[in-house]
Structure 1
Amino acid sequence: MSLFRLDASIFPAASAGAEIADTAEAEWAAARPGLPSVRRHLGTDPLPSDAWALATAAAGTPESDRTHAQRDAYALAVSLADELRGAEAVILAVPLYNFGVSQHFKAWVDLVIAAAGPTTPLLKGIPTLLVTTLGGGYGPGTPREGWDHSTPYLKRILADVWEAELVHVQRELTLAATTPALAALREPAAALHARALTDAREAGRTLVRP
């Protein structure tokens, strides 16, 4: 058994989510010394843009009638689903882009579903940490309250479809330190940063089963 970790930032060197995921993973690794972790980074190793359509078509086509491209795409989808099936614990670091889920993360979800089926509880009983990072503020009372169309979708897939034992750590205002228009929010942004790291340490411990 292993830890499966997925990152989705298109700017890996500056990823706010990676820092939080690293913190949680360190807690898991300390309690599971010597056990492997499996990593997939959709920002540095994106999935083929046509793979989902090909894998979906393959799933409804007898194997002998599949094209070479369909076979390759379906094999990729199966490998992605198997990475989840083999996990003892899961960490996913997913940033908010343009108020929603990025296309490369959505492609990953769709490929997993193409192989596993739309209702298969792939993560049933598996402790799973979802790390979400948002450049601005989207909480109650903010000008963009309700504009975060990513987090509800992520929770629906992970908790309701795949039935993960989900823990969510979120950090907002990640752009405050570098964006002049958000300069007045730097103090609360720093507090949110510190709280996210504290929550990540606790979440990392919850990933470990006795």
Structure 2
Amino acid sequence: MERCGWAGPEQIYIDYHDSEWGVPEWDSRALWEKLILDGFQAGLSWITILKKRENFRAAFAGFDPRQIATWGEAEVTRLLADPGIIRHRGKIEATIANARAWERIEAEQGFDRYLWGFVGGSPIQNAWQSFDQVPTFTPLSQALSKDLKKRGFKFCGPTIVYAFMQAVGMVNDHPVTCPRHAPVRAIGEAGQFPSPE
């Protein structure tokens, strides 16, 4: 069995594939962080973001959306001067807008419940024979992208959203030939969507 074709050759990429990618994420804040990082990836490779992830976490207050929602031009200026992150005004300003959008969804129903509702509360289990068969977006990612935009999110097109869905385990797109397919499937099938508090 071979890992997904994108996983390598650098160890940071292999580790990410072997421990994170496709594992269901149920935490509302962690889901938001990943969506933001996928937005920063737009036009770049994921490994570029992965190598800077800790810098992003430091620069963006641990990706605390409630704190980021209060930010303004002073924080944008600070971030544009930070060489440890992707210095893109549009993406930085979008992160602040997305924090405010997250707050609204979180208050209404919980961001985690909102997202997982699109897949019925449990991961979609695909059975691709090779990674070449995996789509870059789906009708479901198009629907989620459209709804996120309607709710005020930016940098969340269907391709970004599908990459996000794959990463946080809303869909298991490890091919059956990848050694992570079966473990990720088992985690998804054993996992339980968090019950309402």
Instruction: Tell me the TM-score normalized by structure 2.
Output: 0.28
Higher strand residue share: 1
Which structure shows the higher helix fraction?
Answer: 2
TM-score by length of 1: 0.27
